[in-house]
Amino acid sequence: MHAAVTALLGRRVRLGLVGGGGASLIGPVHRVAARFDDCFETVAGVLSSKPERALAEAQALGLPRGYADMATMIAEEAKRPDGIDAVAIMTPNDSHQLYAEMALAAGLDVICDKPLTNDLESALGLVETARSRGLVFCLTHNYSGYPMVREARSAVAENELGPLRVATVSYVQGSLGTRVEDKPEAMLERTRWRLDPARGGLSHVMGDIGTHAHQLLSFVTGRKVEAVLADVGAAMPDRVTHDTASVILRLEGGVRGVLFATKAATGAENAMSLEVYGEAGGLHWAQASANELRVMRNARPAEIRTRGLPTLHEYSRRAARIPPGHPEAFFEAFANIYSDFALLVAARRAGKPADPFAALAPTAADGADGLAFIEACLDSTASGTWAKVRQF
């Protein structure tokens, strides 16, 4: 990927970081992913909403240029001949909209954590702004970066399963299996803001992991969810925060499905899995064995496809870096989203056509779809009936 980016730009993409300092869980993941394929030069950053801490964190990480706030970074970088080309936003959910709007207004491409925003209307505003300005906006739905998830998408797209009929996806965690909110003083800051509806969004489980499950299902099947019958709430007694969601799905083309997401499954270790079935066969992928894809057909032994093999689809092969048998996992999948973003940014700035595989990376529009899905699930829960998912 590095060679392709430098062929377009003559250099790496210059990146500015927004958030991700201190005890952030996802900040180090972003920074490693950006460096993984040597497509980016991380040159600047605002690593905290507290100015003094932002400057101290930048110095501690060895960033060439640290700034006290977003507005200062944008203004100062714009004066430089070697200023940033793009920003990576990894702040609490309630600030995504503000920072993304500031970046887009300055002509900067954006890669942002999910959910895109905390409400659908603001998300649609970002989609329109990015499109009207012709800028790249990627969302880090990183599970779609796994090579064998991309193999699953390719298998469906190439009609290996025949007409699709049913699909299921689940994301099971145990981080809220106990009443962590009873001891707020013991909670990490990243847990505290996530459980605050004003900052983390109206439904914690849906915004934090449900959107990942929804995007994974849509990404692999190539189908949008049209309607839902949902039960979203708390499995833990007396908990205000949503920790569990059970959703029956109707997808485009008559496909039926189920999505289950919970953070109240004590002992569960980010157990994410996907199954898709058509008339000719089915497939199964699980994050616990991310380098394998199980392809099934009636009256035949199951086929186990493993990452990196030359017989796989091109979209999967290009997402792998080392030979089969050497495992690749979470960081590499995250890095695939960053590499796609780099290719898109480089192509836009060079005035060249976008790489067709990079163009499949999750976008702001996918983020809006995720928020429309959450909105419909909450409407369905409130009414006890089916709710249509708004389409754009």
Whether 220 contacts 212, CB under 8 Å = no
What pLDDT is stored for residue 22 in this prediction?
A: 85
Mean model confidence pLDDT for the chain:
96
Going from the C-alpha of 96 to that of each of 101, 102, 348, the distances in angstroms are: 8, 10, 23
- The percentage of the chain sitting over the pLDDT mark of 90, rounded to a whole number, equals 92
Give me the helix-helix angle, 364-383 and 120-133, nearest 10°.
160
- The percentage of the chain sitting over the pLDDT mark of 70, rounded to a whole number, equals 100
pLDDT over 80 (residue 28): yes
Label residue 201 by pLDDT band (50, 70, 90).
Answer: confident
pTM summary value: 0.95
Mean pLDDT in residue range 140-153: 98
What pLDDT is stored for residue 202 in this prediction?
A: 85
Nearest Cα residue to 149 out of 32, 292, 252, 259: 292
Label residue 288 by pLDDT band (50, 70, 90).
Answer: very high
Q: Distance from CA of residue 244 to its chain's centroid?
A: 20
What pLDDT is stored for residue 192 in this prediction?
A: 78
pLDDT over 80 (residue 319): yes
Label residue 11 by pLDDT band (50, 70, 90).
Answer: very high
What pLDDT is stored for residue 188 in this prediction?
A: 74
Mean pLDDT in residue range 305-323: 96
pLDDT over 80 (residue 115): yes
What pLDDT is stored for residue 191 in this prediction?
A: 79
Give me the helix-helix angle, 211-221 and 364-383, nearest 10°.
120
Task: Give me the domains of the chain, ranges plus CATH numbers.
Answer: 2-143+336-361 (3.40.50.720), 147-289+291-321+368-388 (3.30.360.10)
Q: What is the DSSP letter of 182?
A: G
What pLDDT is stored for residue 94 in this prediction?
A: 93
Terminal C-alpha separation, the chain = 32
Q: What is the DSSP letter of 363?
A: B
Nearest Cα residue to 93 out of 232, 193, 181: 193
Give the pair of three-digit tokens for residue 381.
């829960």
Least confident span in 5-14, 29-38, 180-189, 376-385: 180-189
Q: Which residues contact 148 (CB under 8 A, 6 or more apart)?
A: 285, 290, 291, 292, 293, 305, 306, 307, 316
pLDDT over 80 (residue 189): no
Judged on CB neighbours under 10 Å (0-12, 13-18, 19+), 224 is: middle
pLDDT over 80 (residue 193): no
pLDDT digits (tens, 9 = 90+) for 30-72: 999 999 999 999 999 999 999 999 999 999 999 999 999 999 9
pLDDT digits (tens, 9 = 90+) for 331-358: 999 999 999 999 999 999 999 999 999 9
Using DSSP's 3-state secondary structure scheme, residue 315 falls into helix
What pLDDT is stored for residue 190 in this prediction?
A: 73
Q: Which residues contact 134 (CB under 8 A, 6 or more apart)?
A: 348
pLDDT over 90 (residue 91): yes
Label residue 180 by pLDDT band (50, 70, 90).
Answer: confident
Alpha carbons 153 and 147: distance in angstroms, whole number: 10
Alpha carbons 44 and 338: distance in angstroms, whole number: 17
Beta strands 292-296 and 282-286: pairing type?
A: antiparallel
